[in-house]
Amino acid sequence: MIPYGRQDIPQADLDAVMAVLKSDFITQGPAIPAFEAAIKAQTTANHAFAVSSATAALHIACLAIGLGPGDRLWTSPNTFVASSNAGLYCGADVDFIDIDPVTYNMSIDALAAKLEAAERAGTLPKVVIPVHFAGQSCDMERIGALRDKYGFQVIEDASHAIGGDYRDQPVGACPHSDIAVFSFHPVKIVTTAEGGVVTTNDDALAERLAMLRTHGITRDPALMRNAPDGPWYYEQVMLGLNYRMTDIQAALGASQMTRLGAYIDARHAIRARYDAALSDLPLTLPHQPDWQRSALHLYPILIRDDAPMDRAQAFDALRAAGIGVNVLYIPVYRQPWYADMGFRREDFPAAEDYYARMLAIPMFATLSEADQDTVIAALHDVFG
């Protein structure tokens, strides 16, 4: 079975991990700041904090902003449940903005309309989380303009988008947001096995993020209430969590980051082959605006009405042919936990149409041309 995503772990990664295992620090050591430095160099953000998962990153991002009971968080329904769960962890109310039928990201027009109505009703959100689906950045300039107009804060869920660009700036630079969050799960573009990173340019948010990921503890005398008893002294100054990344994971991530550009280039070469080979099939291929360069975490195809079979039939046929297609994502409001909150499918027509048609076909940097040809041939067999 050719999977839809796969990690690449060459000898250099094994050597980096082994060096940590043989060192004095397998956690809370020098590999973590080295990995964070690599992220800052890539994104150009002023601060980067490595944590145990992107879910942890989303959670402390919301906590750092001060999201809590009585507040509202809005996000896209075309995402993993972690994007909205972060709001629930903080006791906030969650709502969704329908997606753009071309980019599959949050619809900026729908967001603007919902904000206008919320301002009249006195129900504006405290936080909006746009999700850079499949590695393609949302139109952050327009979202930033709405942030300035309505006063909410923005957390970019860039879990799919490390190495992507938006208007000639790297995703994660945060020119139009307060915080950005990345994932390093094994099917992502680079991996730390499990892990996440938060980036920000805001010094005050950075101070809170640093403490929130490690129990709310500080060793900085300037942040302490009492005079230190000695060099061993620390204080818990807020209620934080144990969301630290290990040095083992960070060493793997730093090694992976040295190949990020090559990974993105390889994905674009695969995309170009797919675009050319699949253009005559009854499929909608991914749209790529000229104002951004997707990180291409996924290559999502939508099955058109004139296709010879529906999505479920195509899924079964392609899996039987050894092609590990997947469906990403089931709209969050469809999950029983959220459905019980009263969300209605008819309120999100673009997300519903997308979900009924979507398949993700294999897309990862080490996908060989022979396997690409196998994928292409199978799609022609099923849809031709």
For residue 175, the model assigns a pLDDT of: 98
Collapsed DSSP state (helix, strand, coil) of residue 9: coil
Within 8 A by CB and 6+ apart from 62, the residues are 73, 86, 87, 89, 90, 92, 127, 155
Sheet of 358-361, strand order: 283-284, 299-303, 358-361
From the list 156, 165, 170, the residue with the least C-alpha distance to 79 is: 156
| C-beta of residue 348 within 8 angstroms of C-beta of residue 288 | no
pLDDT (tens digit, 9 = 90+) per residue, 26-48?
Answer: 999 999 999 999 999 999 999 99
For residue 267, the model assigns a pLDDT of: 98
| C-beta of residue 298 within 8 angstroms of C-beta of residue 131 | no
Within 8 A by CB and 6+ apart from 276, the residues are none
SS (H, E, C) 278-333: HCCCCEECCCCCCCEECCCCCEEEEECCCCCCCHHHHHHHHHHCCECCECCCCCHH
Mean pLDDT of the chain: 98
For residue 18, the model assigns a pLDDT of: 98
Tokens at residue 84, please? 């909205």
The beta strand positions in the chain, using DSSP E, are: 47-51, 72-75, 93-96, 127-129, 153-157, 165-166, 169-170, 179-183, 196-200, 217-218, 235-236, 283-284, 292-293, 299-303, 358-361
- Low-confidence residues of the chain: pLDDT under 50: none
Measured CA angle at 135 (ends 129, 137), to 5 deg: 55
Tokens at residue 59, please? 């959670």
From the list 61, 62, 56, 67, the residue with the least C-alpha distance to 45 is: 61
Model-level pTM greater than 0.85?
yes
Is the backbone peptide bond immediately before 150 cis, with ω within 30 degrees of 0?
A: no
For residue 343, the model assigns a pLDDT of: 98
Query: Residue 336: how many CA atoms within 13 Å on its side-chain side?
Result: 0
| C-beta of residue 197 within 8 angstroms of C-beta of residue 41 | no
pLDDT (tens digit, 9 = 90+) per residue, 275-302?
Answer: 999 999 999 999 989 999 999 999 999 9
Structural Rg of the chain based on CA atoms: 21
For residue 364, the model assigns a pLDDT of: 98
pLDDT (tens digit, 9 = 90+) per residue, 57-106?
Answer: 999 999 999 999 999 999 999 999 999 999 999 999 999 999 999 999 99
For residue 202, the model assigns a pLDDT of: 98
Q: Write the Ramachandran bin of 134: left for phi over 0, alpha for psi from -120 to 50, otherwise beta.
A: left
Share of the chain above pLDDT 90, in %: 99
Collapsed DSSP state (helix, strand, coil) of residue 129: strand
